[in-house]
Amino acid sequence: MIPVTKTFLPPQSEYNAILKRAWDVRWMTNRGALVKELEEKLRRHLKVPGLIAMTNGTLPIQIALKALSISGEVITTPFSYVATTSSIVWENCTPVFVDIDPTYWTIDVAKIEAAITPKTAAILATHVFGNPCDVEAIDAIAKKHGLKVIYDAAHCFGISYKGNSLFNYGDISTCSFHATKVFHTGEGGAIFTQKKELLDTLFYYHNFGHKGPEDFYAVGTNGKMSELQAAMGLSMLPYMQTVIESRRKIVALYSALLKDVSVQTITVRKDTEWNYSYFPVLFESEDILLKVKELLNSKDIHPRRYFYPSLNTLQYTNNTTCEVSESVASRIMCLPLYHDLSLTKIEEIVHTLKTGL
Ligand SMILES: *Cc1c(COP(=O)(O)O)cnc(C)c1O
């Protein structure tokens, strides 16, 4: 079977050696040595000033909204994983969908200002497939209207834009270290901000609101990463360069083979050092997508419809229309992409895809 993605695992002996350190001191969570070491190594690896490791990539979005005291309306993208929208609703805010750009598939900055009302408090946008949003335009709009900016950067491990980590844009960025992501800790994630005081606030919120053992800053939740998760992260980290390099080669081959084929592939924004996290293909129609999917499935090849449906059509949102997003979401699918996907398999995938067009 060829799945859409396959989790990279380091040699088990290396994972065990790190895990043994937790065993030896019987320290499983609450900021043990492994979580602290992972955070320090990530700070250096990613070139970010501040981050907090967390137990998944969804709680950081909720905590970001909480820590920035966001209420009312949040301008957001309809083309993302459901966690982007559900976190807004979970925090009792109202998602206001702004359609996406047809080339980059990120929020269309030309349409943001028209969606701003006196109730707008923040912009929560996704660097979808690791493709940076138009961060300069979003920053300018946010400054002009006094809005906070949060980026769902779940796909952005290791990506830099204009020589700066993509996590360093906006007030807060969040990342997922889920097993399907490029860098993972099984379940896991992180939150990033450049502002020291805000980082402290995020820290309190992710640890029940504790400010010291007996003092409480505010109501909090439990977003802590465990030592078991951190051990996976520490054993993954030395392999990241190799993992991303092998993905780069696979993407290059896919791109070459699909060059003269009537599908649209990702246009990564200029000045981006990408991580080759996904290989989305946009078909001319949903019918063609479904036909290609069935042909691939019949050969035990399993692409995924990332991201479908368009989030503005969720039954718990207000169902505004977003033409571009709905159209893209219905016609896009990610082809298998993982570190040891063989070149012959890629040729087979593309060959099969072509027979469905
Ligand atoms: C994976 C993902 C999340 C959620 O991350 P988890 O670690 O699974 O909680 C949020 N947003 C996007 C865009 C994602 O792809």
* pLDDT tens sequence for the chain (357 residues): 999 999 999 999 999 999 999 999 999 999 999 999 999 999 999 999 999 999 999 999 999 999 999 999 999 999 999 999 999 999 999 999 999 999 999 999 999 999 999 999 999 999 999 999 999 999 999 999 999 999 999 999 999 999 999 999 999 999 999 999 999 999 999 999 999 999 999 999 999 999 999 999 999 999 999 999 999 999 999 999 999 999 999 999 999 999 999 999 999 999 999 999 999 999 999 999 999 999 999 999 999 999 999 999 999 998 899 999 999 999 999 999 999 999 999 999 999 999 999
Same domain, 338 and 290: yes
φ, ψ (nearest 5 deg) of residue 313: -95, 0
Same domain, 335 and 273: yes
Ligand 1 centroid to 61 CA: how many Å? 9
Ligand 1 centroid to 142 CA: how many Å? 24
- Report if residue 6 sits inside a domain: no
Same domain, 211 and 318: no
Same domain, 208 and 333: no
- Report if residue 95 sits inside a domain: yes
Q: Answer whether 178 contacts ligand 1 (Cβ < 6 A).
A: yes
Which ligand 1 atom minimizes the distance to the CA of 177? 7
Same domain, 37 and 158: yes
Same domain, 169 and 307: no
What residues pair up with 265 in beta bridges, in sequence order? 281
Same domain, 206 and 297: no
Q: Answer whether 58 contacts ligand 1 (Cβ < 6 A).
A: yes
Q: What is the CATH number of the domain that holds 80?
A: 3.40.640.10
Total domains present in the chain: 2
Alpha helices in the chain (DSSP H): 12-25, 33-46, 59-67, 82-90, 135-145, 196-206, 227-236, 240-257, 286-298, 323-331, 343-355
Range of the structural domain that residue 102 is part of: 12-238
Ligand 1 centroid to 84 CA: how many Å? 8
Give me the sheet containing 189-192, strands edge to edge.
51-54, 189-192, 172-176, 148-152, 120-126, 73-76, 94-97
Which ligand 1 atom minimizes the distance to the CA of 58? 9
Q: Answer whether 152 contacts ligand 1 (Cβ < 6 A).
A: yes
- Report if residue 3 sits inside a domain: no
- Report if residue 4 sits inside a domain: no
SS3 category, 148? strand
Same domain, 165 and 270: no
Pocket probe for ligand 1: among 7, 58, 76, 311, the residue whose CB has the most ligand atoms within 8 Å is 58
- Report if residue 284 sits inside a domain: yes
Ligand 1 centroid to 344 CA: how many Å? 31
Q: Answer whether 84 contacts ligand 1 (Cβ < 6 A).
A: yes
Ligand 1 centroid to 339 CA: how many Å? 20
